A and B are shown apart, each in its own frame.
Chain A
Amino acid sequence: MTVVEERPAPAAEPPPRRPNRLWALLRNSWRQLTSMRTALVLLFLLAVAAIPGSVLPQRTINPENVAGYFREHPDLAPVLSRLGGFDVYASPWFASIYLLLFTSLVGCVIPRLLDHVRALRTVPPDAPRRLERLPEHAAAEPRPDDPAAAAAGVAAGLRRHRFRTVVRERPDGTWTVSGEKGLLKETGNLLFHFALLAVLIGVGFGHWYGWNGNRLLVQGNDLGFCNSVTQYDESSLGPRLDAADLPFFCLRLTDFEATYQSNGQPKTFGAQATVQTEHDGPWRPTEFTVNHPLRLSQANVHLLGHGYAPILRFTDRFGQQQTRIVPFLPRDQMLTSEGVAQFPDVNIDPKTNQRDEDLQVAFEGVYLPTVDPKGGPASVFPAEREPALFLTAYRGNLGVDAGLPGSVYALDRGQLANGQLKQVSGERPQRLTPGQTWTLDDGTKLEFVGTRQFATLAVRYDPTQPLVLGGAVLGLLGLMLSLSGHRRRVWFRVSPPAGSEAGTGGSLMEAGGLPRTDYPGFHEEFEQVVAAARRTPEERTP
């Protein structure tokens, strides 16, 4: 890989009329920036700068862990946060390193591209005067044919081995053949570096114009969702994108199937769904699973997880019924799931139609798809073999009207602390199996109707993915060419034998070779090329 031949020293510049300090500074900085040494330093910096992102939790990957870090290190975390420690790969210092590196790359590869184009268009140079000075040399040997014919034969042989070949005749009757091979190496190298640029551009545009959203979707035709920012639990749009730019589609989860090993490890997942891709268009059935997303035009739906949503029917003091389907979030591999069902609009007196805020009701607890026969607190199998719900009932003010964004998966602890919300069931949570009804102290009832499955989905679109992939593949191709090629030259000089007239009595042929990159196998190749060239035409075609 070693570049043997340094680039020719730039021709001495004409003495500047008046040295412009700023210009000189700029020029020197540019040279410095585009040197290989700077590229090396920047590559190192990039590697080092990437490390904190694996040590500290990152907002884009798991925001919960970032929140946890803030709780554990209340003094350090804000400082780190200001330094970009939780968004390393979007931080200005990380960006400045890779932008400098890519500036350096541009400054480096454009002159090399020009040089290379020039090299591709010029013919291999004539043989040096003294071939014996070259790293490879084969002494002159006589041969029967005359110089012109011998040179033509050698050139044909070289061309057959895909050397770029030139034949020259000298005034003294000597013929030379120059051959060069291995320009593909530099082509590959340039391809690789340009492909890196393409990848960077692709990643940048993907960030600007891509979007994604997460959604928990409960099974059932009554519970579909349509692609719009408001229907996602979380979403993020690229800075150049508007909420109105999202493509239209609606999705319903019709069925979800999971199979497990006997030890509870999941074996397969499968989501059955129907999808509508045009307003008022038909609903088309489809299915997707882990590793096989649902690919729509300009949106891909990925299955990330699943769980159970208990169906709870509450009958209030006035006999009014309300049914909720409440996703419980899994907390372990066996799908022990936690959740809360809140009923803020119950116990409304039909006479007054007034809501009594102190009579709101909530149930919090865990759902075990398979209860532990030994009485343990966690599920022992992820499928519903012996399901049970363990609930605690609360009555009072849920605090959901206070205008504060509350979680749908947990009770407002503040309301419990200030006594406005009280536990109204016994010491231990009430166990309910599907179909069972629980009567509370005030005569209200809760029926555990059953469960539905839910799937957690990630919907994403990145318009430049093909560019990034194409860049990466071309880059790999370039890299392989670059690392496997070797640039080298060979020369043959065929002269008339001393003391006789040219064209009468055979010729003498001498050869030399020059590897232009570090190429340990050149010696063998050179010997083969020379051996092939020494064969006369008759020998070649017996």
Chain B
Amino acid sequence: MMAELSDQLMAFTVLAYLAAMVCYAAEYAFGNRSHIGRAATRPARQLVGVGGPGEVEVLPADGVVPPPADDVVPPAPPRDRGALLGLIGVGLTWVAFALHLGTVVTRGVAAHRMPWGNMYEFILAVTLVGAAVWLGVITRKPAVRHLGLFTALALVVLLGAAGLIAYTPVSPLVPALNSYWYIVHVSTIIVASGILLIGAVPAAMFLVRAGYDRGRRTFPYTLGAKVPPAETLERLTFRLHAFAFPLFTFGALIAGPLWAEASWGRYWAWDPKEVWAFISWVVYAAYLHARATPSVKRTTATWIALLGFLTMLMNLFGVNLFFEGLHSYANAGGM
């Protein structure tokens, strides 16, 4: 009964994200360029830590020029249709998030346990965290709202994949997962993955925007016309990654091995899930290194972050589907 409710809520969640996506897309299409450009720069000046007037550019972000001056002059226009659609998109994202939360909670109630016992539930939870972080970001920094199209797209794709590839009927936990380390390990990894997942959106858009600023006018760089300034995107990317990296370290490289030790007797067994978590960790460490090295361009560093994102996807989907390992919740389609 609860399980069915959860399944229905899941369908509505995807629809709501899809509707939000359509609104954002419409905003892209109908909103005039200056409106979005202004929205992208205007709040930036009022906001803490985003790019205030006294803000110091300590290092030039490798040749990224500031937004064109015509975007900055705000001749207070009447609110246009585009902006309204964008706000509806934000509203729908909140609705979708509420439905999403409902999906996860009812799933947990139906199964009488934490709702992250298999791949389907895991993706559901990761995307929920992603959506929550995203809503937090746009609440604190409305300037980046225009990335909503891409976050909604990412959420729809991931949730769709979860529903189509990984759907599993509600079932209780196998004894191996019945441990408090299960809660600690899996929840931290879910939170970290959710943040890293959302972090890939500003990372990709930074690359697009930086290309646009360098004069590229082909797709996808044309998308860069309507996103926040490169520097804002780059900072946001870094903040999200710098926050998630220690969490991921804790979840995957401390709590995970502690549990593995209790359960299998060895804290590290090079099982495919562990291998890919290790790979992601090393790639994200490389991102942080690259960003801290002055001679490495910010665009190069950001490419590394995106590579890290791909390794995370590999772990979320690829490993579960292609490899056989010790991680029993990795089995797609139930055990």
Q: How far does the alpha carbon of A94 sit from the alpha carbon of B257 in the complex, in Å? A: 21
Partner of A266, one of B174, B250, B324: B174
B300 to chain A: closest residue by CB: A40
Q: How large is the interface on A (under 10, 10 to 19, 20 to 34, 35 or more residues)?
A: 35 or more
CB of A480 within 8 A of CB of B246, answer yes
Interface residues of B in 48-91 (CB under 8 A from A): 48-52, 54-56, 58-59
Partner of B178, one of A36, A58, A60, A291: A291
Is B161 in contact with chain A by the CB < 8 A criterion?
no
Interface residues of A in 489-535 (CB under 8 A from B): 515, 517-524, 527
A460: B residues at CB distance < 8 A? 265-266
Query: With contacts A2-B291, A263-B171, A290-B175 known, is A473 near B254, CB below 8 A?
Result: yes
B172: A residues at CB distance < 8 A? 261, 265, 267
Interface stretch (choices B143-151, B204-212, B268-276): B268-276
Is B253 in contact with chain A by the CB < 8 A criterion?
yes
Is B95 in contact with chain A by the CB < 8 A criterion?
no
CB of A265 within 8 A of CB of B270, answer no
A291: B residues at CB distance < 8 A? 175-176, 178-179, 181, 259, 262-263
Is A450 in contact with chain B by the CB < 8 A criterion?
no
A395: B residues at CB distance < 8 A? none
Interface residues of A in 65-112 (CB under 8 A from B): 65, 88-89
CB of A518 within 8 A of CB of B242, answer no
A520 to chain B: closest residue by CB: B49
Query: With contacts A39-B289, A43-B289, A476-B249 known, is A523 near B56, CB below 8 A?
Result: yes
Is B114 in contact with chain A by the CB < 8 A criterion?
no
Interface stretch (choices A23-31, A171-179, A462-470): A462-470
B167: A residues at CB distance < 8 A? none
CB of A265 within 8 A of CB of B335, answer yes
Partner of A61, one of B55, B249, B269, B295: B269
Is B15 in contact with chain A by the CB < 8 A criterion?
no
Interface stretch (choices A49-57, A276-284, A336-344): A49-57
A203 to chain B: closest residue by CB: B268
Residue picked from A300, A473, A520, most chain B C-beta under 10 Å: A520
Residue picked from A53, A136, A212, most chain B C-beta under 10 Å: A53
Q: How far does the alpha carbon of A537 sit from the alpha carbon of B117 in the complex, in Å? A: 60
In the complex, number of A-B residue pairs with CB atoms less than 8 Å apart = 165
CB of B275 within 8 A of CB of A53, answer yes
Query: With contacts A1-B242, A43-B289, A292-B262 known, is A520 near B282, CB below 8 A?
Result: no
Partner of B265, one of A53, A458, A515: A458
Is B165 in contact with chain A by the CB < 8 A criterion?
no
Query: With contacts A44-B286, A47-B279, A293-B262 known, is A479 near B56, CB below 8 A?
Result: no
Q: How far does the alpha carbon of A481 sit from the alpha carbon of B52 in the complex, in Å? A: 26
- Shortest CB–CB separation between residue B169 and chain A, in angstroms? 10
Mark contacts of B117-147 with chain A using CB atoms, 8 A cut-off: 1 yes-contact digit, 0 otherwise: 0000000000000000000000000000000
Partner of B294, one of A3, A46, A51, A304: A3
Is A21 in contact with chain B by the CB < 8 A criterion?
no
Mark contacts of B228-239 with chain A using CB atoms, 8 A cut-off: 1 yes-contact digit, 0 otherwise: 000000010010
Query: With contacts A54-B323, A265-B172, A291-B262 known, is A40 near B293, CB below 8 A?
Result: yes
CB of A1 within 8 A of CB of B246, answer no
Interface residues of A in 288-322 (CB under 8 A from B): 289-293, 300, 302, 304
B319: A residues at CB distance < 8 A? 54
Partner of A50, one of B259, B267, B279: B279
Q: How far does the alpha carbon of A542 sit from the alpha carbon of B58 in the complex, in Å? A: 39
Is A6 in contact with chain B by the CB < 8 A criterion?
yes
Is B285 in contact with chain A by the CB < 8 A criterion?
yes
Is A37 in contact with chain B by the CB < 8 A criterion?
yes
- Shortest CB–CB separation between residue A16 and chain B, in angstroms? 27
Q: How far does the alpha carbon of A441 sit from the alpha carbon of B293 in the complex, in Å? A: 83
Is A269 in contact with chain B by the CB < 8 A criterion?
yes
Q: How far does the alpha carbon of A202 sit from the alpha carbon of B174 in the complex, in Å? A: 32
Query: With contacts A265-B335, A290-B263, A518-B58 known, is A524 near B271, CB below 8 A?
Result: no
Q: How large is the interface on B (under 10, 10 to 19, 20 to 34, 35 or more residues)?
A: 35 or more
B49: A residues at CB distance < 8 A? 520-521, 524
Is B288 in contact with chain A by the CB < 8 A criterion?
yes
Query: With contacts A47-B286, A302-B263 known, is A2 near B250, CB below 8 A?
Result: no
Partner of B270, one of A60, A268, A269, A524: A60
CB of A302 within 8 A of CB of B275, answer no
Q: How far does the alpha carbon of A458 sit from the alpha carbon of B262 in the complex, in Å? A: 11
Is A472 in contact with chain B by the CB < 8 A criterion?
yes
Q: How far does the alpha carbon of A483 sit from the alpha carbon of B288 in the complex, in Å? A: 9
Is A156 in contact with chain B by the CB < 8 A criterion?
no
CB of B175 within 8 A of CB of A268, answer yes
Q: How far does the alpha carbon of A40 sit from the alpha carbon of B303 in the complex, in Å? A: 13
B319 to chain A: closest residue by CB: A54
B58: A residues at CB distance < 8 A? 2, 4, 135, 515, 517-519
- Shortest CB–CB separation between residue A184 and chain B, in angstroms? 15
- Shortest CB–CB separation between residue B88 and chain A, in angstroms? 31
A57 to chain B: closest residue by CB: B324
CB of A293 within 8 A of CB of B265, answer yes
Partner of B50, one of A39, A65, A520: A520
Q: How far does the alpha carbon of A43 sit from the alpha carbon of B287 in the complex, in Å? A: 10
Is B264 in contact with chain A by the CB < 8 A criterion?
yes
A62: B residues at CB distance < 8 A? 324
- Shortest CB–CB separation between residue B272 and chain A, in angstroms? 4
Is A333 in contact with chain B by the CB < 8 A criterion?
yes
Query: With contacts A135-B58, A515-B56 known, is A40 near B261, CB below 8 A?
Result: no
A293: B residues at CB distance < 8 A? 262, 265
A462: B residues at CB distance < 8 A? 266-267
- Shortest CB–CB separation between residue A505 and chain B, in angstroms? 31
CB of A54 within 8 A of CB of B176, answer no
- Shortest CB–CB separation between residue B10 and chain A, in angstroms? 22
Q: How far does the alpha carbon of A47 sit from the alpha carbon of B281 in the complex, in Å? A: 9
Mark contacts of B322-335 with chain A using CB atoms, 8 A cut-off: 1 yes-contact digit, 0 otherwise: 01101000000001
Partner of A40, one of B176, B296, B335: B296
Is B283 in contact with chain A by the CB < 8 A criterion?
yes
A2: B residues at CB distance < 8 A? 58-59, 291-292, 294
CB of B59 within 8 A of CB of A483, answer no
Q: How far does the alpha carbon of A320 sit from the alpha carbon of B168 in the complex, in Å? A: 55
- Shortest CB–CB separation between residue B250 and chain A, in angstroms? 6
B286: A residues at CB distance < 8 A? 40, 43-44, 47
Is B26 in contact with chain A by the CB < 8 A criterion?
no
Interface residues of A in 149-170 (CB under 8 A from B): none
CB of B285 within 8 A of CB of A43, answer yes
Not counting A267-B172, A483-B245, a sample of 14 additional A-B residue pairs whose C-beta atoms are within 8 angstroms of each other reads A4-B58, A37-B296, A62-B324, A65-B324, A267-B175, A291-B262, A293-B262, A465-B261, A479-B249, A483-B242, A483-B243, A520-B49, A520-B55, A523-B56
In the assembled complex, 10 residue pairs joining A and B whose CB atoms fall closer than 8 Å, in A order, are A43-B282, A47-B283, A53-B275, A54-B272, A290-B176, A291-B175, A291-B181, A476-B254, A517-B58, A521-B49
A residues in contact (CB < 8 Å) with B: 1-4, 6, 36-37, 39-40, 43-44, 46-47, 50-51, 53-55, 58, 60-62, 65, 88-89, 135-136, 203, 212, 261, 263, 265-269, 289-293, 300, 302, 304, 333, 458-460, 462, 465, 468-469, 472-473, 475-476, 479-480, 483, 515, 517-524, 527
- Return the 9 tightest CB-CB contacts between A and B, nearest first: A135-B56, A302-B265, A54-B275, A54-B272, A460-B265, A520-B49, A291-B179, A523-B54, A43-B286
